Amino acid sequence: MVTWKGCGYCKHLTKSSFCKAFPDGTGIPLFIANGEIPHLQKIGGQKNDIVYEEK
């Protein structure tokens, strides 16, 4: 089972507010970045299937 540790621990993070799951536009949604919702499954509107994976 994967445990959410936050975007800073995800192998898909590319910049402070962007990752391979959210590469353009406004980047990582605030509700994921602030830990309100763990990104352990695809969210509505996401254009790919990339989710949190620990580095």
How much of the chain, in percent, has pLDDT values that exceed 70?
100
CA distance 45 to 28: 12
Residue 25, token pair as written in the block: 């536009």
Q: Which of 5, 32, 4 is nearest to 18 (CA)?
A: 32
pTM of the model: 0.87
* 43: helix, strand or coil: coil
- In the chain, domain spans: 1-55
What's the pLDDT band for 18 if we cut at 50, 70, 90? very high
In this predicted model, what pLDDT tens digit does every residue of 25-51 receive, in sequence order?
A: 889 999 999 999 999 999 988 999 999
Structure tokens at 8: 């800073």
Question: Under DSSP, is residue 30 helix (H, G, I), strand (E, B) or coil?
Answer: helix
Percent of the chain surpassing pLDDT 90: 80
Q: Tell me the three state secondary structure of residue 10.
A: strand
**Taking 90 as the threshold, does the pLDDT of residue 24 lie above it?**
no
